[in-house]
């Protein structure tokens, strides 16, 4: 695995030995940041189910000022820390080991801030995507212009507009679906785009 863009572009990241850790593929990460934008200067980032830490590190590479990484697996936490160190980002990152099935630990001091970008990448076989997305949307830890990116299996159904969030993109890459939500303020009437990276056509879907 490599960092796909920003100041750290090309930096090699350590991969997992534990099959329970499923890193986001390089090509999907690159596509994600083509959507999110290459300049994330000043962003505060929360990377949930961080795995190797690749998504949060990509954000730091593109100018994010701070990133919090959370995973319940010991190897994932260790991998994330090692990759942060390899990239020289230790002063802009913190890593927590928590079981997110019990909810997001908003009470922790590291999380008492407003996040501009949240990555949510739960195990594909779990039902945690919709649950934690609703928790994020209902909370008070998002900035006014926050975006939330959810990575799921392509067959997973997510709501179009939970709480203060509105889905603005839904794209499919092989077996992976990427859904991006933004603050609902000013987003009325937006349409999601369902895009399969392999065919050359796409279908627009109305928001629920």
Q: Is residue 13 part of a domain?
A: no
Predicted confidence band of residue 114 (pLDDT cuts 50, 70, 90): very high
- What pLDDT does 185 receive? 56
In our burial notation (b when 16+ CB lie closer than 10 A, e otherwise), range 76-96 reads bbebbbebbebbebeeebbbb
pTM for the structure as a whole: 0.86
Q: The domain spanning residue 33 has which CATH number?
A: 3.40.50.150
Q: Is residue 21 part of a domain?
A: no
- What pLDDT does 186 receive? 40
| Count of structural domains within the chain | 1
pLDDT tens, 15-43? 888 778 888 888 899 999 999 999 999 99
Q: Is residue 6 part of a domain?
A: no
Predicted confidence band of residue 44 (pLDDT cuts 50, 70, 90): very high
Q: Is residue 11 part of a domain?
A: no
What number is the average pLDDT over the span 52-68? 97
Q: Is residue 91 part of a domain?
A: yes
Range of the domain at 160: 27-205
């Amino acid at each position: 695995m490599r960092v796909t863009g920003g100041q750290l572009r090309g930096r090699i990241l350590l991969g997992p030995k534990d099959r329970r850790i499923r890193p986001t593929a390089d090509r999907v990460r690159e596509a994600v940041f083509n959507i999110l934008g290459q300049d994330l200067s000043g962003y505060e980032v929360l990377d949930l189910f961080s795995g190797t830490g690749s998504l949060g590190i990509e954000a730091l590479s593109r100018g994010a000022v701070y990133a919090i990484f959370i995973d319940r697996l010991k190897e994932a936490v260790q991998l994330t820390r090692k990759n942060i160190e390899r990239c020289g980002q230790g002063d802009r990152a913190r890593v927590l080991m928590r079981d997110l099935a019990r909810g997001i630990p908003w009470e922790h001091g590291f999380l008492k801030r407003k996040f501009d970008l949240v990555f949510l990448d739960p195990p594909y076989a779990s039902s945690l995507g919709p649950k934690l997305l609703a928790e994020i949307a209902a909370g008070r830890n998002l900035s006014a212009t926050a975006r939330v990116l959810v990575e799921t299996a392509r067959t997973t159904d997510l709501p179009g507009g939970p709480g203060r969030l509105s889905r603005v993109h839904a794209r499919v890459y092989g077996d992976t679906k990427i859904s991006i939500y933004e603050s609902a303020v000013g987003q009325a009437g937006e349409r999601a785009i369902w895009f399969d990276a392999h065919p050359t056509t796409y279908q627009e879907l109305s928001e629920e």
